[in-house]
Amino acid sequence: MISQIRKLMRDNHVTQRDLAHELGISEQTICDKFHGRSNFTLRDVLRIADFFDVSVDSLLGREPLEVK
């Protein structure tokens, strides 16, 4: 899932700071999530999928990552 999120961030020029702001969490918390020290919550996953306009399945790697 992290690789899909990183790809979406790169393709859309979104920084970790931007994503943290969108999720309503601190930059340190998003950093911890990207480095495996903390897990993404279901709420995080849903918000990320909505933010990038992709399906949750594609975000989780269950189907190809395609923007709607």
Which pLDDT tens digit goes with each residue over 24-57? 999 999 999 999 999 999 999 999 999 999 999 9
Residue type, 38: S
State in Å, rounded, how far the first CA of the chain is from the last one. 18
Query: Is the Cβ–Cβ distance between 55 and 44 less than 8 Å?
Result: no
- Mean per-residue pLDDT for 61-68? 69
* pLDDT bucket at 68, cuts 50 / 70 / 90: low
Q: What is the pTM of this model?
A: 0.85
* pLDDT bucket at 66, cuts 50 / 70 / 90: low
